[in-house]
Structure 1
């Protein structure tokens, strides 16, 4: 009888651990569906769990659920990053941001999530923000100083932050013709990784104190495009309740439209040829070559691998789908930065644009150099970047959601801080400069300039806005004082502008969207430079 009672007691205790994710360690031991994980108290009030596998996948195969464990997983350090394509121009970009790059090793066993959750003495059953990093689908990792979710959770109740690793470049979307013949599903393995991670979070976040019915996804650049791809690929999804897109979306123009399949077929063939493989055994050989060798060849060739239309995860008729309302109709916060393109042009100039970068025609080089150096030209290259690659897609995406009666908010980030720009006035409010403000990770910059009081106050405001949206995507920002976006009214939230450096003022589409109907000639010129800066 005593043994029976003891067994029942243990069974009830196991259920308690699974439901509440708590133990005598103060909530740092959590029972996931795959087994227990042990995190840490990273700062008073915040639990941190790093490197938890959400899936397993062999090279160029779809992710599968990870195996169950009988032992406790040590979740106190980041898992390895997925293989990266870090070209010289990408490294220059990262250097200009002061980010310092990743610190973990790389591995193809890289499908992990990281979770920052409030300690168990704080309110639980919180909203959940899942972060998807950018990097032009060529590189990216959660082991990145600006992406740490600790400060958001420390300074805001009712929120958990999750980040996920996903495959990029040739490992994430190879577009191999031989593989296409053997697959009935998608070759966009990075996008499949993202979906698997979102599903894992939905299945497990309750034990970390999160509410699986209040999950949003947010990302920047390629990460923002990924959130849009998710919305179009999963119109009937019930997991994601809101989306934040920072400087990226699918709609707008040909430069952000899905990539033509034949272009990455060429990249695949070039890489395969460079490592000495040819048909018919090409695929089998490419599957077993060490990933470091493939990675090095991709970097040396500056080969581009991006998601391609497959009718499953990525589509080539986004404008038509938008007009038909064929997407996930959840509230959207979308925006761009005031000087998105400046950092791209500076990176090119640092690497001596005129002749050191392969693939640029002499005529194109002369045209672009003239545009880059003509500071009096209001239609210069950086302005075109802003409009054609970021501002106009944000405008078109927002308008499409409004037309479908989706609660939509739009922002424009305008702040410039010395510790973010390293005192370089030519960078402005550049592409990705809002990230340390959103995450409150400005102190992580490699630059020596300290954050200003204005910067700290603006970061608190922006964080509060993002969290308000996460808590209640439908009404959170309205209650926060933001109007729903309307192309005909002053409803664009200008963050950190000279009119209010620590908060918000509202501007109109008529002011910022002029020039979105640019000519094909202008698109062609910017497209040539965009091809060179595909590592951003």
Structure 2
């Protein structure tokens, strides 16, 4: 049950919370009964001559390294959300020092005994491939999940944006991997976990990778990477099924435009190793702003695949093909998946105090713009299931239906591949915060999975309803990490997905399975 830990305080000092890695000994701290280690290097710095290069092993150190505070995060543009009071209130972002020496990971464990062999839950943060970190949201703190589930929780930082995904492969063999080094960082972290996690009480043969939004996209990408095969055994994609990797053609076009923006040609690529990151970032921002049409007032995920931006590249080797299309990657056939989305995703009342003032005429206008020639039809289809919903709530469901459809499509692709199953969920619980305007917004399911609804009260309200649902959701993810099946005693039976019945676990005050609850409306909207 999600609750505050016993008030035993924090203990840190000589001889407390020690573990030995292959690079050397680390010291963490104890918070009540959970041992925490932060900022452990899993690979070496990526600065200077090592920019755009695959990760290298972390250098060894002598003595005991203090690992009690989060390490540096990848250089990035954090966007404008922090300037919006409501948004900043809800998310409570944790900012940190940025550095190209950012390949660090964090561990929460109930104990370091080597024979414990606890399941390992590896969190990949969101922010697309451009921003974010292992700890930029309080929701990512792994202490409660480790305690409640008796599991080892790991989170990590990796290279982002142009530092992680600038495809320089046309400019020499040295840069053959440059378009995917951000993903190779994650592979290096998984290799580190394989080699070291037993010293933290974890089982390297029971590793679950899971992530939300961009983190979910990273999970999907890892499913199709030969270098990652065998390094994880379960996978969870939360609101991240809609992202697709870039083609070699589009990634090289972006690189050409980027170099031109800097005033460089192909003979001057070496200068990219010494130019300040801010200079590079500004050039990249100028190119993407010029090449990509702005979103029409909300994130329309239908347009995401056609945008020119930095992300994994289908290069035929590191990433042989786009991992999910009509079927799932054969190399991950035996990896079961949890796949889901939230009801309102990117269209909520956050930063919009007058959202619910939308009238019927505005709803019809937006629906017509969303699907020209069929606006009235899709409004009627969505209203049929929830006739009492407000115009804004109907618009939210219409605009975010492609996110839900992408989760269904990914589950269907996994099911069609045979092998291990996929379990589909739909998070529909509505937060009471800010008069309920944020609804079931993008990211709201994260604190429920991490048993952090009280810690993240500005997202969840912190009340009893949120805690009860969190107990059920976090227990499902823990069961899945341990066994590959989310079944547990306090949750109705959750069958694997099949494309005929399309069963979804609906997470609300009273969780339950519904077969294709939105099948009819999706058939008209998407």
TM-score by length of 2: 0.78
SS in structure 1 of the partner of residue 127 of structure 2: coil
Aligned counterpart in structure 2 of residue 73 of structure 1, from 65, 80, 84: 65
Map Cα deviations across residues 335-371 of structure 1 (whole Å, 9 max, x no partner): 111111314x867999xxxxxxxxxxxxx99946999
Give the match for residue 476 of structure 2.
465
Distance 1:93-1:485 versus aligned 2 partners, 3 A rule: farther
Give the match for residue 414 of structure 2.
401
Instruction: Work out whether residues 227 and 318 of structure 2, in 8 Å CA contact, stay in contact via their aligned partners in 1.
Output: no
Give the match for residue 238 of structure 1.
230
Aligned counterpart in structure 1 of residue 26 of structure 2, from 33, 37, 60: 37
CA distance in 2, matches of 1:80, 1:342: 32
What is the deviation of 1:218?
0.5
Structural mapping, 1:473-492, within 5 Å: 473-474=484-485, 476=487, 481-489=493-501, 491-492=503-504
Instruction: Work out whether residues 81 and 87 of structure 2, in 8 Å CA contact, stay in contact via their aligned partners in 1.
Output: no
CA distance in 1, matches of 2:13, 2:84: 47
Aligned counterpart in structure 1 of residue 466 of structure 2, from 452, 455, 479: 455
CA distance in 1, matches of 2:452, 2:424: 23
Map Cα deviations across residues 166-220 of structure 1 (whole Å, 9 max, x no partner): 1111111012365465434352111111111011011100001111111111011
Map Cα deviations across residues 95-125 of structure 1 (whole Å, 9 max, x no partner): 2672222321100110000000004599932
Are 1:220 and 2:212 an aligned pair?
yes
Q: Any stretches of 5+ residues in structure 1 without a counterpart?
A: 1-22, 250-254, 351-363, 523-536
What is the deviation of 1:433?
1.0
Distance 1:366-1:516 versus aligned 2 partners, 3 A rule: closer
CA distance in 1, matches of 2:97, 2:202: 30
CA distance in 1, matches of 2:502, 2:169: 49
Instruction: Work out whether residues 114 and 199 of structure 2, in 8 Å CA contact, stay in contact via their aligned partners in 1.
Output: no
Distance 1:413-1:448 versus aligned 2 partners, 3 A rule: closer
Give the match for residue 269 of structure 2.
283
Structural mapping, 1:20-419, within 5 Å: 28-41=17-30, 43-56=31-44, 57=46, 58-88=50-80, 95=87, 98-119=90-111, 124-144=116-136, 145-157=138-150, 159-176=151-168, 178-179=170-171, 182-185=174-177, 187-234=179-226, 237-249=229-241, 256-274=243-261, 276-299=262-285, 302=288, 304-318=309-323, 322=327, 325-343=330-348, 367=369, 382-388=396-402, 390-403=403-416, 404-419=418-433
Give the match for residue 507 of structure 1.
514
CA distance in 2, matches of 1:123, 1:240: 20
What is the deviation of 1:430?
1.4
Instruction: Work out whether residues 495 and 505 of structure 1, in 8 Å CA contact, stay in contact via their aligned partners in 2.
Output: yes
What is the deviation of 1:477?
5.5
SS in structure 2 of the partner of residue 161 of structure 1: strand
Instruction: Work out whether residues 218 and 224 of structure 1, in 8 Å CA contact, stay in contact via their aligned partners in 2.
Output: yes
Instruction: Work out whether residues 138 and 169 of structure 1, in 8 Å CA contact, stay in contact via their aligned partners in 2.
Output: yes
CA distance in 2, matches of 1:94, 1:83: 25
Instruction: Work out whether residues 46 and 116 of structure 1, in 8 Å CA contact, stay in contact via their aligned partners in 2.
Output: yes
What is the deviation of 1:26?
6.7
What is the deviation of 1:306?
1.9
Are 1:429 and 2:440 an aligned pair?
yes
Once superposed, what is the RMSD of the aligned Cα atoms?
Answer: 3.7
CA distance in 1, matches of 2:450, 2:415: 28
Q: Paired residues, what number?
A: 466
Instruction: Work out whether residues 164 and 178 of structure 2, in 8 Å CA contact, stay in contact via their aligned partners in 1.
Output: no
Q: Any stretches of 5+ residues in structure 2 without a counterpart?
A: 1-11, 290-308, 355-365, 383-393
CA distance in 1, matches of 2:460, 2:474: 22
TM-score by length of 1: 0.77
Give the match for residue 451 of structure 2.
440
Distance 1:515-1:89 versus aligned 2 partners, 3 A rule: farther
Instruction: Work out whether residues 476 and 486 of structure 2, in 8 Å CA contact, stay in contact via their aligned partners in 1.
Output: no
What is the deviation of 1:162?
0.2
Instruction: Work out whether residues 178 and 283 of structure 1, in 8 Å CA contact, stay in contact via their aligned partners in 2.
Output: no
What is the deviation of 1:36?
0.4
What is the deviation of 1:450?
4.3
Instruction: Work out whether residues 323 and 400 of structure 1, in 8 Å CA contact, stay in contact via their aligned partners in 2.
Output: yes
Distance 1:106-1:296 versus aligned 2 partners, 3 A rule: farther
